Structure 1
Amino acid sequence: MTTILVVDDEYLIADIIGYALEDEGFMVVKASNGQKGLEVLERERPSLIITDFMMPVMDGLEFATAVRALPSVNHLPIILMSGAQAHIGMEKPELFNAVLAKPFNIDLIIAEVKKLLAAG
Structure 2
Amino acid sequence: MQKTILVVDDSPSVRRMVSMTLKGAGFAVVEADDGRAALAAAERSLPDIIITDQNMPNLDGIGFIKAFRALPQSAGVPVIFLSTETEDAIKAQARAVGAIGWMTKPFNDEKLLSVVKRVAG
- Alignment length, in residue pairs? 118
Residue pair 2:3, 2:120 contacting (<8 A) in 1 also? no
Aligned residue for 2:99, secondary structure, equals coil
Structure 2 residue 43 is matched with structure 1 residue 19? no
User: Deviation at 1:86?
Assistant: 4.9
2:36 partner letter: Q
Q: Distance in 2 between matches of 1:32 and 1:85?
A: 21
1:4: which partner in 2?
5
Structure 1 outlier segments of 4+, above 6 Å: none
1:73: which partner in 2?
74
Residue pair 1:86, 1:101 contacting (<8 A) in 2 also? no
User: Deviation at 1:42?
Assistant: 1.5
Instruction: Pick one of 93, 109, 114 that aligns with 2:112.
Output: 109
Q: Distance in 2 between matches of 1:88 and 1:60?
A: 14
User: Deviation at 1:81?
Assistant: 1.1
1:46: which partner in 2?
47
Q: Distance in 1 between matches of 2:117 and 2:5?
A: 11
Indicate the larger mover: 105-114 or 81-90.
81-90
Q: Distance in 2 between matches of 1:45 and 1:51?
A: 15
Unaligned runs of 5+ in 1: none
- Cα deviation code 1:67-102 (max 9, x no counterpart): 111111132100001113553442132421110011
Q: TM-score, normalising length from structure 2? A: 0.91
Q: TM-score, normalising length from structure 1? A: 0.91
Aligned residue for 1:21, secondary structure, equals helix
What is the aligned-residue RMSD (CA, Å)? 1.3
1:100 partner letter: M
Q: Distance in 2 between matches of 1:64 and 1:106?
A: 24
